[in-house]
C-alpha cells in the first residue's frame, strides 16, 4: 500500500509540476552552470547504494591550485533560495518513482557514514529512506546527529500510513516556514564523525 501511495503522489506531482521543474532546471543552468543535476551515491534499504538526484545549488569555483572552494563560498544566494524551500530536492521524486526512495523515511545520508553508526543507529536502514522523515519535521538540521538518529529509529519502530500522512503534512509547513535549515554556522549539517568518537571527546 505504501508503495502504491508513493507512486500515485510522486507521479501526480511530477505531472502537475512539470512546467515548473523545466523552468527551475533552466534557471539552475543559467545561474549555476552544468550539470543541472547533482548526483551522489547514497545508501538505500539495508544500505544498498543508489544514486540520489538533486538540483545543483553550488558553483564549481576553485582556488589557484584547482581545489574546490569551501561549500559556504560556492553556495550562491540562488542556491540558498533553492535549499531554503527544498526546491533542490524536487528531482528526488524520480528516485521515488524508481523505487530508491519512499516519500517518507529516514533521509539517506553519505555512504561514508555506514561504518560509523552504532548498532541502534543502523536500524534506520531497515526501511526504505525517504524524501522527508520524522527527524525532518522535528528539528531538521537544527538538532544533533544523535537526536536525528533517535528520531529515525523511533520512526522505524512506529511507522504507519497515518504517521506518514502526518509527516507529509508537517513537511509542507516546515518547508514554507524554512525551519531548521542550518546547524549553527554550518550551511546544513556538520560532517558526522561517529557517536562513539564524539562521546570520547
pLDDT in tens, 13-72: 999 999 999 999 999 999 998 899 999 999 999 999 999 999 999 888 887 887 888 777
Domain count, the chain: 1
Q: Using CA atoms, how far apart are residues 20 and 85, in angstroms rounded to an integer?
A: 14
pTM above 0.85, yes or no: yes
b/e per residue 43-68 (b: at least 16 CB within 10 A): bbbeeeebebbbbbbbbeeeeeeeee
Residue 199 belongs to some domain of the structure: no
Pairing of strands 49-55, 37-43: antiparallel
C-alpha cell at 152: 529515525
Q: Is the pLDDT reported for residue 183 higher than 80?
A: no
Q: Using CA atoms, how far apart are residues 138 and 118, in angstroms rounded to an integer?
A: 21
Residue 198 belongs to some domain of the structure: no
Q: Would you state the pLDDT for residue 114?
A: 94
Q: Are 163 and 170 in contact (CB under 8 A)?
A: no
For residues 148-159, give the mean pLDDT. 96
C-alpha cell at 200: 570520547
C-alpha cell at 96: 521515488
Residue 200 belongs to some domain of the structure: no
Residue 144 belongs to some domain of the structure: yes
Q: Which domain holds residue 135?
A: 2-192
C-alpha cell at 45: 534499504
Digit-coded pLDDT (tens) for 102-111: 999 999 999 9
Q: In this structure, what DSSP letter does residue 117 have? A: -
Amino acid at each position: 500500500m505504501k508503495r502504491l501511495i508513493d507512486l500515485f503522489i510522486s507521479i501526480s506531482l511530477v505531472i502537475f509540476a512539470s512546467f515548473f521543474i523545466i523552468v527551475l532546471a533552466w534557471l539552475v543552468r543559467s545561474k549555476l552552470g552544468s550539470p543541472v543535476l547533482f548526483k551522489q551515491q547514497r545508501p538505500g534499504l539495508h544500505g544498498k547504494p543508489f544514486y540520489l538526484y538533486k538540483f545543483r545549488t553550488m558553483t564549481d569555483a576553485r582556488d589557484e591550485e584547482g581545489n574546490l572552494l569551501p561549500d559556504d563560498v560556492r553556495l550562491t544566494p540562488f542556491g540558498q533560495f533553492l535549499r531554503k524551500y527544498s526546491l533542490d530536492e524536487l528531482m528526488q521524486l524520480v528516485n521515488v518513482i524508481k523505487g530508491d526512495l519512499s516519500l517518507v523515511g529516514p533521509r539517506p545520508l553519505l555512504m561514508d557514514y555506514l561504518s560509523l553508526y552504532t548498532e541502534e543507529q543502523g536500524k534506520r536502514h531497515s526501511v526504505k529512506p525517504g524524501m522527508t522523515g520524522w527527524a525532518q519535521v522535528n528539528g531538521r538540521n537544527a538538532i544533533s546527529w544523535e537526536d536525528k538518529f533517535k528520531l529515525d529509529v523511533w520512526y522505524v519502530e512506529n511507522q504507519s500510513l497515518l504517521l506518514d500522512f502526518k509527516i507529509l503534512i508537517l513537511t509542507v509547513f516546515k518547508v514554507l516556514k524554512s525551519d531548521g535549515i542550518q546547524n549553527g554556522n554550518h550551511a546544513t549539517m556538520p560532517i558526522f564523525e561517529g557517536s562513539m568518537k564524539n562521546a570520547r571527546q
